[in-house]
Amino acid sequence: MINDTMFARGAESSKIREIFSYGLERKAQIGADKVFDYSLGNPSVPAPAAVRASIERSLELPSEELHGYTPAPGLPEARQAVADSLNRRFGTAYTAGDVFMTVGAAASVSMCIHALTNPGEEVIVIAPYFPEYAVWIEKAGATCVEVLADQQTFQVDPEAVAAAITPRTAAVIIDSPNNPTGAVYTRETLEALACVLRAANEGREQPIFLISDEPYREIVYGAEVPWVPSIYENTVVCYSYSKSLSLPGERVGWVLVPNTCPLASRIMPAVAGAARTLGFVCAPALFQRVVADCVDEPSDVAAYARNRDVLTRALSEYGYTYVEPDGAFYLWVKALEDDAEAFCERAKAYELLPVPSNSFGVPGWFRLGYCIDYDVIVNSLPAWKRLADEYRA
């Protein structure tokens, strides 16, 4: 029998994808330069030259090595390169055995959810949140519990998390630098969250796990991105090269189960089991080699900073209110009416394509992905002004 839940998830496309498809249609109708598509987090910054050089080197390998299966958790050299890079940056002592190569952060997070929860348990997410979390939590048979971020700073609100914890809470997912708000959780916030979790762990058979989803770790504008496992010991880290190396279509990332995590020896087999169960073993071999070669390549943050600056300066001049983004490449802006969906529909008349906040679990805001070309942003500014003028009128 066809699975009703799977049917429903496939039949309803994600709002972000729906807007992106509308944008493609509209571009075909009126010309690509006349549509201002802020919907997707698809980096416009090219992948570093080192990626191409690495691919060219790999192409010299014998076919079996180049295209063959790798071990289920990944190539030893890729896992070692990731561990070495983390050790250099965070003063840790991870080994290749702590790293499981994945098909991007989507796989990393869904594997961790499946590995760390049982049906009937609860997973806390911080709203607004990346919408796929709810889908993956549902698939694991767990319940997604939304906890609002602090509405001024968009940091995690540790007291609100404390109030949401029940005996069924298995894990909390955090995402910093944050999609969709651009907030970067401070050390102080994370320490307060760790205190809440440790207090809740008293008397429990197993601790509450923290799943730290970090595909935007490298994309920050000066803020510190603290290393979460050094603040809360029961943390697993999910990463991807989709954003940092502009490789979203290549599907490569990893899960780190730090060897400092008290239950690491049981968690890593569970992560491997989740990868096996979900069919996520053996990440693309070519791009595991790219990771081994390019693990320390810097991201081109300057391009995103330039986009952020031109966009925020103009929007603030036109009277929009937004969260000052410290990281990632999203701007979280207050809609000019209570109904964010209605606002985004109205924006379409100006060929502006933002994503309404309802998709991220909260009303009244919209998200702009400013990882697009600088010229598209500059050319869209008059439309943002006219839209604001229309509301004022």
Under the criterion CB under 6 A, does residue 176 sit at the interface with ligand PLP?
no
Shortest distance, CB of residue 39 to ligand PLP, whole angstroms? 11
292: part of which helix (H) or strand (E)?
helix 285-294
* CA pair distance 189, 195, nearest whole angstrom: 10
* CA pair distance 363, 386, nearest whole angstrom: 23
**Contact at 8 Å (CB) between 35 and 26?**
yes
Under the criterion CB under 6 A, does residue 106 sit at the interface with ligand PLP?
yes
Shortest distance, CB of residue 175 to ligand PLP, whole angstroms? 4
Residue 188: partners with Cβ closer than 8 Å, 6 or more residues away:
none
Reported as half-sphere exposure (CB side, CA atoms, 13 A), residue 117 has a value of 30
C-beta of 79 vs 384, nearer to ligand PLP: 79
Interaction mask 213-242, ligand PLP, x per CB under 6 A:
x-x------------------------x-x
Q: Of the ranges 87-95, 101-109, 191-199, 366-374, which one interacts with ligand PLP (CB under 6 A)?
A: 101-109
Token digits for 209? 């796990």
Q: Which of residues 276-295 bind ligand PLP (CB under 6 A)?
A: none
* CA pair distance 20, 23, nearest whole angstrom: 5
Under the criterion CB under 6 A, does residue 131 sit at the interface with ligand PLP?
no
The DSSP result for 55-67, as a single string, is HHHHTTS-HHHHH
Which one of residues 23, 41, 327, 356 is an interface residue with ligand PLP (CB under 6 A)? 41
Q: Which of residues 20-39 bind ligand PLP (CB under 6 A)?
A: none
Reported as half-sphere exposure (CB side, CA atoms, 13 A), residue 290 has a value of 25
Which one of residues 47, 81, 105, 281 is an interface residue with ligand PLP (CB under 6 A)? 105
306: part of which helix (H) or strand (E)?
helix 301-317
Q: Of the ranges 51-59, 103-111, 134-142, 265-273, which one interacts with ligand PLP (CB under 6 A)?
A: 103-111
Under the criterion CB under 6 A, does residue 130 sit at the interface with ligand PLP?
yes
Under the criterion CB under 6 A, does residue 247 sit at the interface with ligand PLP?
no
Which one of residues 54, 80, 155, 179 is an interface residue with ligand PLP (CB under 6 A)? 179
Interaction mask 250-279, ligand PLP, x per CB under 6 A:
---x--------------------------
Segments in 152-213 forming alpha helices (H): 158-164, 187-201
C-alpha dihedral, 25 to 30 to 34 to 37, nearest 10°: -10
Q: Which residues bind ligand PLP (CB under 6 A)?
A: 41, 104-106, 109, 130, 175, 179, 213, 215, 240, 242, 248, 253
